[in-house]
Amino acid sequence: MARNIYDSALAIVKSARSNGSNKPRVRKFTARLDNYDAKVELDKGVVKVILRDKWYVLRLKHRREYIERFIGLRWKEVHVKYEGKRLFVSIVFEVRYEPYAPKGFMAVDVNLRMITTFNGTEVRRFRTRLIDALSKRARVEELQKKYPKRWRFNERILNRIKALHRRARNIVIDSSWKLAREIVTRAYKHGHAIILENLEHLRDSINEKNNDIRWKLTLFAYRKLQHAIIAKAIEHNVPVIIVDPRNTSTTCPRCGSRLTYIHRLAFCRNCGFIGDRDVVGAMNIWLRAVQACAGLPGSTQSASPMNNETRQSRGTKK
C-alpha cells in the first residue's frame, strides 16, 4: 500500500513539473490495482475491483479460448481505464522467461514505411502503416494552425482533433502487434535470436528534427513496435539482443568503409558493394550482434552472402 501511495505521489510531482509547476490535470480516468484492490478469476472470465469498500465485477469480453491461455499464470496488476463511456481492463501477468540457445540471428531495421529483417543470408520486408498514422497527426497540426485560438474551445474542432489522435494511436498499436507476431513467429520457427536497435539516440537520427510532430510520432511508433516485439519474444522464449544503432546506415557491411548515397541507394567506393538503405542497416545490425556474441571488436567483419530477398506487403507467408 505504501508503494502504491509513493508511486501516485511521484506521478503527481512529475505531472506538475511537466506543466510548468502548475496544478496537475486529470486527462485520463485510469487506475492501477494490485491484489489489495482487485481479484482476477479467469476461470469465470471476470475481474473484481474494490472502490470505496464496494466490490464491482467486470466481465471480460475476450474469446474464451484466448482467456484460457493465461489461466494458471500469476497476475501482478490490473489496469482499468474509462474512455468513451467504456471500461478497458488490462491484466499484467508474471511469466518465466527462459530464452533458448539461438541457432542464428535475425536483425530488425525499422523505418516509417518498411521493416527490414536480415538473418545472414536472406532479406525480408514488412510494410508498415506508420505513414498513415503520421498523416493523421499532420492533419491535426493543420487544424491547430488554421484555428490557433479556436481549436481548444470549439467542441467540433476539438472532437475532430481528438478523433485523429485516437486513430493515429490505434494504427500504430494495431500495426505494431501484428508485425511483432510475424517477426517473432519467424524467429521462433528457425530458432533465431532477434536483434533490435537501442532507441536512446533515436531522436538524433531522425530527419527534419524541427518537425516536432514527426519525431514524437516516430519515437512513439518505434518504441511501441519494440515493446511489442520484446513482449512476444518473452512469450515464446525467443532471445533478444540490443545493439548500438549508430552508423549502421553509413558503414559498408562488407569492408567497413563509409558509404555514398544516391537517394536511398548506397554504394561503396572501396569494394563496390551496392544496396538500399534498409538492407544496409539490417546487415550492419546483424553483424554487430554476431561480433558481440563472438567477442570481436569493431564493425568491419564481412557479412554472409545475401542470396535471396523476399518482398511482401502484408507480412510473411506461413
DSSP code string of 266-303: EE-TTT--EEEHHHHHHHHHHHHHHHHHHT--SS-PPP
Residue 242 β-bridge partners: 196
Quote the pLDDT of residue 6.
Answer: 86
Quote the pLDDT of residue 299.
Answer: 35
User: What mean pLDDT do residues 102-125 have?
Assistant: 90
Quote the pLDDT of residue 248.
Answer: 87
Write the pLDDT tens digit of every residue in 151-167.
888 889 999 998 998 89
Which residue shows C-alpha cell 506461413?
318
User: Which residues neighbour 49 within 8 Å (Cβ) at sequence distance 6 or greater?
Assistant: 31, 33, 37, 38, 39, 55, 56, 58, 78, 80
Contact 164, 139 (CB under 8 A): yes
Ranking 64-68, 201-205, 207-211 by mean pLDDT, the lowest is 207-211
Model confidence at 296, pLDDT cuts 50, 70, 90, reads very low
Contact 8, 1 (CB under 8 A): no
Average pLDDT in the chain: 82
Does an H or E element contain 312, and which? strand 308-312
What does the alpha-carbon distance between residue 240 and residue 237 come to, in Å, rounded to a whole number? 9
More confident residue, 313 or 211: 211
pTM to 2 decimal places: 0.73
Write the pLDDT tens digit of every residue in 61-76.
888 888 888 888 899 8
What does the alpha-carbon distance between residue 55 and residue 41 come to, in Å, rounded to a whole number? 14
Quote the pLDDT of residue 116.
Answer: 92
User: Which residues neighbour 256 within 8 Å (Cβ) at sequence distance 6 or greater?
Assistant: 298, 299, 300
CB count, 10 Å around CB of 190? 12
Write the pLDDT tens digit of every residue in 137-194.
888 888 988 888 888 888 899 999 989 988 988 998 999 999 999 999 999 999 999 9
Nearest CA to 124 out of 132, 114, 139, 137 is that of: 114
Which residue shows C-alpha cell 506543466?
19
Burial class from Cβ neighbours inside 10 Å (0-12, 13-18, 19+) for residue 78 reads: buried
Portion of the chain with pLDDT greater than 90, in percent: 28
Write the pLDDT tens digit of every residue in 40-55.
999 999 999 987 788 8
Model confidence at 308, pLDDT cuts 50, 70, 90, reads very low
